[in-house]
Structure formats: C-alpha cells, structure tokens
Structure 1
Amino acid sequence: MPDWNHDAVRRENLERAQANADHPEQPSVSHPFQGRWTRRHWAHASVLTTMCVLLAAIVPGFSTVLDASGTAQVQRMTLSLTLPKPSLRASKATDDNWQSVTLKPGQTLSGVFEELGIPYDQLAKVMQHPKIKPTLRKLRPGTALSFNLPADGSVRAMRLEAGPGVGETPIELEFNGTTLRERAVPVEITTRTVVLTGEVGKSLFASARKLGLGTAQLNQLTDEMFKYDIDFDSDLGEDDRFSVVVDQTWKNGQLANTGPVLAATFTVDGKLKSAFRYMRDGKPEYFTPDGRSLKRPFIRMPIPYARITSGFGMRNHPILGRMRGHMGIDYAAGTGTPIMAAGDARVEFVGRKGGYGNAVILNHGGGKTTLYGHMSRFANIRVGQHVAQGAVIGYVGSTGLATGPHLHYEFRVNGVHMNPLKMTLPPPTPLSGSDLMAFRNQTHRALDKIREVEDVVFQLDDDRVASAAKPAPRDRKKG
C-alpha cells in the first residue's frame, strides 16, 4: 500500500478521535439475549416465575378477607316474627302524670274536678258509675283522691285511696273513650311493733308529736297510764326521757295508722316509771312490771294539765277577806277546760250551789263523795246517772265566789272533808296465776326493746336505765 494512503488513514483516525473527545458518544446497550440463554438468564427467570405464582395465590385471599370485614358492619339477618301488640297500659305508662289531693272539710268532688281543670263530662261519668256512685256519696274529709292527667289535657284515670268513708282497698277508674272501667288497686299492708323514744324537752306534747304520736296516744300516757304517778305539769324536766311501744300499720310504704300504746316508760329524776297494757277480762288495763294495776279508785287530778293555786287547810279567803278553812284543792285552768270524774260513781247533784256556783257532786259508794265547783257549764249528765272514772262531767269556769276560772275539788268520807292529795285507798287486785306469767313474758320483751333503743339513742348503759339509785334532787318550781 502506498505511503500516502497510510498518511490519509492516520489523519482520518486522528480527526475522529478528536471529535469523539469533544462529543463523547453514549455507549449503546446491547440486548442481553444473544440468541441463547446463559445460566444467569435461567436463574433470573426462575425467581421471577416463583414470585408471580405466589402473588397469584395470596392476593385473592387478601381481597376476600378485606371484602368480608368491610361488609360485616352492614350485613343484617332478617327474620319475620309475629309479635304481640303492645298493651294500652304499657304504651301510656311513659305519659302518666298522677296528681293527688286530700278532700278538705266542705269540699265536694265537683270542686276537686274544677280545681284540677277536669272537664265536667268526666265528672258526670264518675258520678253515674253504678258501683262507685254509693261510695262517692260517703266521701269524708281526709280521703285521698288521685288523678292521672296526661299532657294532652284529658283524664286517663281516677283513684280513690283507702281512707275515711272508703273501703280498705283503693279503687281505680280508667277512662277509655266513652267507657269507664273499674279495678281494685292492690295494697301492701304491714304491721310493725316499734319503740319511739325521746326527751321531754320544753314540751312533752311537742316532743311526742315529732316522734309520730297522736292525740290518742298522748291521752293514754297522761290520762290512763301515768295519771296517778306523774304530775305532768310539774314533775317532768327537760332532760327527762320517755319511750313508748306501739304497733304501726303501713300501706304501700306509707304510715297509715299508729295503734294504742302497748308499753311506756318515763325516766323522772333518774327513776324509771313503767306501764304496760294488758287485756284482763276483755278490757285493757295498765300494770307495773310486777303485775300490780296502775289504776286507782280516784284520779290524782280530775282536771288535766292544771296547776294548784290553793291547797287544803286554813287560808285568808281572797273574796271574804278573812281566815277560813279551805276544804278542797283549787286547780287553775282556762275557761272551758274539761273536768273529769275522779272515780266510778253515781251522779248525786247537778246545779247551782251557793258559793260553789255551778257544781256537781258524785257518790262513789262506801260513804265517799267528791264535789266539783265553779263550773262554767255542765256536761250531758243527770242525777242518778252512772259515770266512769275519767268521764267529762263539766267545764272550768268562775261561777260563785271565784276571782278567776278554776276548779274547786273536794273529797269527803262519810261527810268529813279529807285532803284529796293525801288519800290512800287500796288498789285493784293484782294479776296472778297464768295471767301473771303471760304478762311477765310480754313485759320482759317490751322492756328489752325499750332498753335496746334507748342505749342507741341516748348511749346509756343498762345500769342507768334500770337502776333505782337515789340521784341528786332537782329543784323544780311547783304551782
């Protein structure tokens, strides 16, 4: 080959090299497959195929799970069931609105309906009900009436609670359109024997009423059980205690009635005075714990809650102005205060009697008589009538020689004046035999109940309740 040819090729190569240096070319990627697979190619293909197979098997499973979890919240199973129709009473229960009123003296049923805004036509339905009409005519003050008055202004039902003039079972009248349906309301009645205890405080009556005792129980305490042993005007101090055992009747969880006092104690100057009710020969009597009757032939005070203003003996007469024997006891009290017979007796005299004014004389037999003077008026008694101890024979006044309203009380034996406060007469026969055994069992249980309650209320020990130790006397002002 000629030399010029070599020179030309060299120059061309140099120029191409220079151009490549100024503009480098991107290396070309050759296809990996050169007509046959190498061992490396087969390995890659095997791995890729395995991954594809696994993905094809797993991904549909995940899809099923996700679908199931997503639809579980909204899928419900529906069954066709035949259900009973809801009762009318159940559907109305949430709309009940009972209002109660207590019948006042002089108030009529129409007045109650008008007060509550109940339509007159509803009243007419009630008044014409054949079974209820006779009952409504016997309604008495204190009867509780309840009305179911829903928000729509209608009257759904009316209930007559057990009370004065009404049967023991309350009656409910339910209005249903133009009809009136009657039903008896079940009553849950329970009786409990309870001990009520407290301190006398400033007023025995106020303290007893706070405990739930009524007038009947208070009269038992003062006029029957302890009237011979306690002067309720002057003997009691504020820190003296009393306890009573009574039976209480509860209706539907509310106190309905408190029965007579079964047992009672007063702690006066640290000394325990007890009284227990016991039926002897079919009549209630009151006894000490050892069975001795608390009844005396004569009451210590024939007038309750009075104070002595003049005793028995010589005195300067407040009207005549000279010394004169006062042959009785004067008890000051307000005009109209009831005066009781001091003992069982026959009425010997009723009328005006000189300086005594309006007076009553009772004959108790055995030569014993009592006189009651200065009355404002007499009770419904007549000469020859037999009266029981404690019966009202007249009322306090200031007739005759009297400077103010009071009772002049005299006691005579065979015509001789005696001091009523110093008379000692034999008491009734005490209990014996089987009566005494039954009474002692009853007394023991009652005393245990009283002591248990007092220990809790007053935090006392047994010795202080039962002990008859002599305490320091308390100065009390006596009238």
Structure 2
Amino acid sequence: MATPPATQSTTPDPDPAPAATLAPAASTSAAQTLPEPLWRESKVRNGDSLSLLLNRWGVSSRTVYQLEKSSGGRQLRKLIPGETIRALLDAEGELQQLVYAKSRLHSEHFVRNNGSFSHRTVVREADVLPTLRSGVIEDSLFLSGQRAQLPDRIIMELANIFGWDIDFIFDIREGDSFALIYEEKYLDGELLGSGNILAAKFVNRGKVYRAVRFEDQHGDAAYYSAEGISMRKAFLRAPLDVFRISSGFNLKRKHPIHKMIKAHRGVDYAAPTGTPVFAAGDGKVIESGFSSANGNYVFIKHGQTYITKYLHLHKRSVKTGDSVKQRQVIGSVGATGYATGPHLHYEFLVNGVHRNPRTVPLPQATPVPVEDQLAFERFATPLLQQLEPSAASSLEIASSELPESNRQ
C-alpha cells in the first residue's frame, strides 16, 4: 500500500508570506498608534459576492471596482460557495493583496501596484500515488469497502465499473472478494482526496472479473477487461443507483392493486421519491407522457432492436424526440399512476418481446482500438499482477512508471 510522501512537495508554496514579513518596519511610535498589516480570510457562502466580503473588512467599493476591472478580475464576479478569499490590509486598511483560492491547488493572486492590481494564476500539482486496497465481502459492498478504508466515492466507482456484470444487491455473497489500485492525491504530505481507479478485481461466486483503466491515443479513457473488452455494455443492468427490488419479472404475478393474475413484464425498483433515474443506454425518446395506469413515463428506443420503458416517475426530465446518452438523468422515482408506493417500473424489450432486465444478455460496447492493443497489454499486465494475492503485501508500481497518457 502506498504511503504519503515523507517530505513536503518540491513545489513552492504560492501563498503570500505572513503579513509580518511583507510589511516594512514601523517606528516605535507608529506601531503604538497604527494597527499592524494583517490577513483576513473568509469562506464564500451562498449569496456572497466580492464586494460584500471586502466591504465587511472596510475595503472601499472603488477598490473592489479596480479589482474586477484588472487583468483576471472577471473571475471575481462570480464566487462559488466553498471557495476562499484572503485579503491583506495595510495599516491604513487599504487592500494590498488578494488571494482567490478556488481550491487547494488553484488560486488567483492580485497585488496592488501603483494604484492598480497585477494578476497571476498559481496552479500547484498534487503528488499522485497508486494505492492498493483489498477486502472480503461480509455483508454489503459499501460496508465491506469502508472496512477496507476505501473512500465512499471509490466504492461507488468500483460498483459502476463491474455493475454491468454483477448485481451488487442480489449477486454478491459473503466470501466474495475485491482488490483495486486507485490514486491518492497528496499536497505537502496531506491527503487531498482520491483520483481514478487504475485497476480492479472482483471475485463473485468464484468467477473472477478484472478491469483496467486505459486511455487511448485520442485521450478517451475507459475500463477494459484483461482481454481488452470494454467493461461498459451498451446498457446499464439497472437504471438507478439506490434501490431494492420490490417485484421481479414474473408472468404469473398477482397484481397488488387489481388482485388478479397479471403478467409483470418488468422489474420494480423501490427507491425514495426523487431518486434519479438514468437512461439505460444511448437512444431516442419515443414517448414521454402521462397515463392513469403508468403515471409519468418515458419510453426510449435504442437502435432497431431494443426499447426500454420507465414508469411511475415523479418527474420527467426529457421529452418525446430527445436524444439521450447512457446514464443521462431522464426523470426521478415516484408513485404516479397505479402504484402502491414510490418505485420505478422498468421494462426491457428485444425485438418487441419483453425480457427480464436482470438476466437478459447485454451487448458489449467497443473493445480497445486495434492500434492501441499493444500499448494496452504493456500497461495492463503489471497492474493486474499487483492485484493477485502474492503481490498484495506491497505495491511496487510507481506513478512515474505509468505512461503519461494514463496518469491523468
């Protein structure tokens, strides 16, 4: 497992020096009557503007106007909550420097210079270290991932990578296992967050699934199996992330409202009202409307062979004729029409015939381009070897050894 760097980054700290080192020495009498130059800092909150923040500190509207009209000042006109504004005020309360920190890695610096403000952008680079984690399923993937010290975002991404092949609600079993290499980002020895999953393995009921993130010559990144087959199928196995199956595909089901045997030609995914519903694949919306039985519904046609249907939506986000991409939000879970509670009724049709969405074979997406296959093999082989039990005690690959196009 990778560890954070022992020494701070070689990139110099872009933040201005403390006020005491910037201010000229003052006489004893002046120091007794005038305040020392000081830095003020504030996190941007909803409704904040630059003028509102600086006016709180006694900075004049004229100075704010000069800042916004300076080179780079246009970015100061729309601050985003969570960003940071730092201002250096001199002994008379005049603004001398302003730092607009968009993130720990990106900041805009403004310095007073002969009555106006000069500007420079400072972008720092985090140290990106590959990190190995592994675990065994004891209950859910999420809880088991947390025990393996995986960030929540990485757990969700792991599920997304293998989600076309594994139903993480019904398919996983106690004793299944996973291993993955993902990026951790550090700045001056402090963990900032996680990056991409570089490679992953999941063992489900004895069957091994492997995936590697690879970026082709055109800069397009995707996850592929060890054989170079795309992990991404043409369709999602389930069109929403948070759910439980309340009613499966059953041609002899007793209808809960009508109390009679009526074929249930889809799968019901129970989820809270408002849960986003995704398009299962690229396609065109052929119907988006409302009926007393279906409530709000969306039907999508995918080429000449497939149609997917989404019923009982709370809201629809697309209209008839729209083109949609896979995982595009098309609506949200609701309980409109003949529904006993909030859920999505999802149907999958092949050549006009209803098929079980949970078991129907899903067509593959494109494999690694032919011209990139040798580069893929050279990149994937050492990563996948690190996921094997014999290599689990250490992670020998370093980020500097990765091809440049696959480090971002």
With the shorter chain as reference, the TM-score category is 0.7 to 0.9
Please tell me the residue identity of whatever aligns with 1:344: D
The residue that corresponds to 1:145 in the other structure is 85
The residue that corresponds to 2:402 in the other structure is none
TM-score (norm 1): 0.62
| Change beyond 3 A, Cα 1:332–1:190 | closer
Distance 1:327 1:161 in 2: 56
Please tell me the residue identity of whatever aligns with 2:247: S
Which runs of 5 or more structure 2 residues have no equivalent in the other structure? 1-19, 27-35, 396-408
| Change beyond 3 A, Cα 1:295–1:100 | same
- Higher-Rg structure is 1
| Change beyond 3 A, Cα 1:385–1:90 | closer
Q: CA deviation at 1:322?
A: 1.7
The residue that corresponds to 2:270 in the other structure is 332
Q: CA deviation at 1:378?
A: 0.6
CA contact (8 A) 1:240 1:269 kept: no
The residue that corresponds to 1:455 in the other structure is 393
Please tell me the residue identity of whatever aligns with 2:339: A
Distance 1:453 1:367 in 2: 45
| Change beyond 3 A, Cα 1:327–1:188 | closer
Deviations 1:9-59 (A, max 9, x none): xxxxxxxxxxxxxxxxxxxxxxxxxxxxxxxxxxxxxxxxxxxxxxxxxxx
Task: Pick which of 440-449 and 296-305 moved more.
Answer: 440-449
CA contact (8 A) 1:192 1:247 kept: yes
- Any idea what SS the aligned residue of 2:358 has? helix
1:232 is matched with which residue: 143, 161, 168?
Answer: 168
- Any idea what SS the aligned residue of 2:263 has? strand
* Alignment partner of 1:192 is 2:116: no
Count, aligned residues: 358
The residue that corresponds to 2:211 in the other structure is 275
Please tell me the residue identity of whatever aligns with 1:158: Q
Q: Using the aligned pairs only, state the percent identity.
A: 31
The residue that corresponds to 1:119 in the other structure is 58
* Alignment partner of 1:107 is 2:45: no
Please tell me the residue identity of whatever aligns with 1:246: E
Distance 2:79 2:298 in 1: 41
Q: CA deviation at 1:407?
A: 1.0
The residue that corresponds to 1:306 in the other structure is 243
* Alignment partner of 1:322 is 2:260: yes
CA contact (8 A) 1:173 1:183 kept: yes
Of Structure 1 and Structure 2, the greater strand share is in 2
| Change beyond 3 A, Cα 1:172–1:285 | same
Distance 1:113 1:237 in 2: 57
The residue that corresponds to 1:405 in the other structure is 342
TM-score (norm 2): 0.72
Distance 1:272 1:153 in 2: 69
| Change beyond 3 A, Cα 1:253–1:105 | farther
Higher relative contact order (CA 8 A, sep 6+): 2
Across the aligned residues of Structure 1 and Structure 2, the Cα RMSD in angstroms comes to 4.0
Q: CA deviation at 1:193?
A: 3.9
TM alignment of 1:463-474, pairs within 5 A: none
